[in-house]
Amino acid sequence: MTMSSAANILLKQFKELTSNPVPGFTVALQDDDVFEWDVGIIGAPKTIYEGGYFKATLKFPDDYPFNPPTFKFNNEFFHPNVYSDGRLCISILHPPVDDPTSGETAAERWNPTQSVESILISIVSLMGDPNCSSPANVDAGVMYRTDRDSYNGIVHAQVEASKKDIPEGLKIPTSKETNRR
Amino acid sequence: MGGGEEPSREEIHDGSTTNQEENTNAQQNVESSPNLPEKPVNAEEDSSKETKKILDEKSNENTEGTNVEQAQPEIADNAQAVSAPVTETTSVVNPSPGPVEAPKPEDTANKDAAHEDQVKFQQNLEYEISIKKEEAERTPLVCISEDIQKLYQEYEQGSDVYRNKIMKLAERHNKIRRCRGDGNCFYRAFGFAWFERILLSNNLTILRTALDSLIATKTLLKSSGYQPLVYDDIYDVVEEQMKAIERGERDDSMLLAIFQTDDISNHIVWYLRVITAAYLKKYRQEYEPFLEFETEMDQYCSKYVEVMDQEADHIHVIALTKALNVPVEIAYMSGSDTMEQVNFHEFYPDNEPTGGNIILKPLVLLYRPGHYDILYRKE
């Protein structure tokens, strides 16, 4: 039973997410491995990401949910909180540590009550609302604050480039159709 | 309180944080205080006073609830871990402070520096944590019980305040069982002592009552807003262990083995944490006044209760004992006061002793600043 409880939890959450999909992303298992998920983030309508489809990998540790998964975009993703190798830096995926300088304002860190769904929702929300106080990509952080037009331009190019990854049959919602449930 | 002890705590923090900007300074600081490893003990003592104060305040229907320093247990816990490694943390992790070289637009340069600091800081933290873990992992999660003399021997070179207290303690208690100091010790000690008590009682009523209390926690969790998806499987692991006792498949050595196994042991610890959090949330109006900085209960729980390795404060003890209907007595032992008596605090659930509850004798835990172990009372 030792190894199976993490796998059980993940399998359950995976089934839940595939039978009741949450708008905004798709999930699939990589080679039937419940510890490695293929995630597709669907650009939210009425945002600069509209029309895009961004592939990423969610990797879970053996002792999930006691430690957080890692999230990595498969392609370059220009964003203040994404490293050049695609790794996403988001507080809820940081191991819970005593941070002596953080005080009470510290952002929420990993905690086993998070579900995959809540993780993905936080990620989608970070995409549109970067945290520029501790940027993983300094250039993106600076540009986001000082030159939004150029920033949006780069994002737009990435949205266009990402369209090749849209799986067959997946309808990407746009603001014109507003067909979100 | 403890005026002279206050600075030591700051020093500890200095050592581990300021090094981002003042690398060398911090290092000197640390190195110039050869007695640093002893300081955390003081910090811990301080925290124990705090805990006792909290206890007193609680019983006095206090109005100064905001005094409760929720950070206390962490400090104590940190202190243990920080003691030795601080110097290394500063010297090893930051080989080059690396001033920003090329002239850049000011904003970028600032950002770069800030980012570098952030990264260094993160590295320091991770290094500190890895040492803390390494240190803690030398002790099994739960140890074999030992004669209480062993506890006495631990203080043979130390303060006679402790020795006197242990002598007193030994009049009624003959054994101690240590738990790993990984921040989960309260929950683990509680969990083990509870399961052990049920196992050794050999009493089906006690077992069924415990199982009922456990089953009831699922309702508690749900009503406090937890998703079954998140806790169901973990609950199953805990329930399975209880049922294995019922089926007669457990003896004391097997129980110990189970609690020494990371996976199952941590499932039990975490489930006890969520029970605690769910109870605190359910009765938030009663407990929120005890939280520092007017913290909101949900936020408090997500930072200090639901998270592994976070020390338990005294409201956690109250919550868990009430939620599971398990009486606990805690011997508070610190070297800070000169009283020879060890103070016992009773955490009894408020339920009237009906049904099987009355049969379960209180679990006995030993609290030393920042740490819990299990005590055994002479029969």
Cα separation, B98 vs B110, whole angstroms: 13
Looking up tokens 């003990």 gives B41
- B102 in A contact zone (CB under 8 Å): no
Q: Are residues B120 and B17 in the same domain?
A: yes
Pairwise pLDDT comparison (A176 vs B276), residue with the higher score: B276
Residue A180 within any structural domain of the chain: no
Pairwise pLDDT comparison (A11 vs A101), residue with the higher score: A11
- Residues of A serving a catalytic function are 89
ipTM score for this prediction:
0.73
Of B136, B169, B195, the domain-final residue: B136
**pLDDT of B178:** 94
Of B337, B364, B344, the residue nearest B45 (C-alpha): B337
**Do the Cβ atoms of A170 and A52 come closer than 8 Å?**
no
Residue A12 within any structural domain of the chain: yes
Cα separation, B342 vs B330, whole angstroms: 10
Q: What is the pLDDT of residues B195-230, one digit of tens each?
A: 999 999 989 899 999 999 999 999 999 999 999 988
Structure tokens at B234: 């973990």
Q: Which of B119, B233, B237 to mutate to test the interface with A (most CBs of A within 10 A)?
A: B233
DSSP H helices, chain A, are: 4-19, 116-128, 138-146, 148-162
Cα separation, B281 vs B284, whole angstroms: 5
| pLDDT for residue A166 is more than 80 | yes
Q: Are residues B222 and B330 in the same domain?
A: yes
Cα separation, B245 vs A66, whole angstroms: 26
Q: Are residues B21 and B81 in the same domain?
A: yes
Q: How many residues does chain A have?
A: 181
Q: Are residues B106 and B171 in the same domain?
A: no
Residue A124 within any structural domain of the chain: yes
Identity of the amino acid at A57: T
Of B22, B34, B33, the residue nearest B90 (C-alpha): B22
- Name the residue range of residue B197's domain: 146-377
> Is B118 in contact with A134 (Cβ distance < 8 A)?
yes
Q: Are residues B130 and B159 in the same domain?
A: no
**Do the Cβ atoms of A179 and A173 come closer than 8 Å?**
yes
For residues B357, B281, B195, B233, the Cα torsion angle rounded to the nearest 10 degrees is 130
Chain A CB contacts of B17 under 8 Å are 100-101
Residue B307 within any structural domain of the chain: yes
**pLDDT of B3:** 38
Q: Are residues B240 and B96 in the same domain?
A: no
Which residue from B118, B240, B308 is facing A66, i.e. has the nearest CB? B308
Residue A171 within any structural domain of the chain: no
> Would you tell me which residues 280-319 of chain B have a C-beta closer than 8 angstroms to some C-beta of chain A?
293, 295, 299, 302-303, 306-310
**Do the Cβ atoms of B179 and B143 come closer than 8 Å?**
yes
Q: Are residues B78 and B199 in the same domain?
A: no
Q: Which of A11, A14, A66 to mutate to test the interface with B (most CBs of B within 10 A)?
A: A66
Identity of the amino acid at B285: Q
**pLDDT of B123:** 78
In this prediction, residues B12-34 reach a mean pLDDT of 40
Instruction: Encode B3-41: b = buried (16+ Cβ within 10 Å), e = exposed.
Output: eebeebbebbebbbbbbbeebeebbebbeebeebeebbb
If phi > 0 it is left, if psi is from -120 to 50 it is alpha, else beta; for residue A70 that is beta
Q: How confident is the model at residue B106 (pLDDT cuts 50, 70, 90)?
A: low
Cα separation, A2 vs B339, whole angstroms: 47
When mean pLDDT is compared across A127-131, B12-16, B344-348, the lowest value belongs to B12-16
Residue B269 within any structural domain of the chain: yes
> Is A2 in contact with B264 (Cβ distance < 8 A)?
yes
Helix B72-82 and helix B106-136, axial crossing angle in degrees, nearest 10: 80
> Is B108 in contact with A101 (Cβ distance < 8 A)?
no
Q: Are residues B128 and B202 in the same domain?
A: no
**pLDDT of B109:** 61
Chain A CB contacts of B229 under 8 Å are 12-13, 16, 115
Residue B141 within any structural domain of the chain: no
In this prediction, residues B241-267 reach a mean pLDDT of 93
Q: What is the pLDDT of residues B231-249, one digit of tens each?
A: 999 999 999 999 999 999 9
Q: Are residues B309 and B245 in the same domain?
A: yes
Average pLDDT taken over every residue of chain A? 85
**pLDDT of B139:** 87
- Name the residue range of residue A15's domain: 4-165
Q: How many domains, in total, are found in chain A?
A: 1
Identity of the amino acid at B218: K
Residue A78: give its domain's CATH number. Answer: 3.10.110.10
Looking up tokens 């920033």 gives A151
Residue A17 within any structural domain of the chain: yes
Q: Are residues B172 and B225 in the same domain?
A: yes
Q: What is the pLDDT of residues B38-82, one digit of tens each?
A: 434 444 444 444 444 444 444 444 333 334 344 344 444 433 433
Q: Are residues B281 and B259 in the same domain?
A: yes
Q: Are residues B159 and B110 in the same domain?
A: no
Burial of residue A105, with CB atoms counted within 10 A of its CB: 0-12 exposed, 13-18 middle, 19 or more buried: exposed
Neighbours of B367 (CB within 10 A): 26
List the end-to-end C-alpha distance of chain A, in Å, as a whole number.
39
Q: How far is A82 from chain B (nearest CA, A)?
A: 13
Q: How many domains, in total, are found in chain B?
A: 2
In this prediction, residues A150-173 reach a mean pLDDT of 90
Q: Phi/psi at B342 (nearest 5 deg)?
A: -90, 130
> Is B234 in contact with A5 (Cβ distance < 8 A)?
yes
Burial of residue B233, with CB atoms counted within 10 A of its CB: 0-12 exposed, 13-18 middle, 19 or more buried: buried
Q: What is the pLDDT of residues B110-130, one digit of tens each?
A: 656 766 777 777 778 777 777
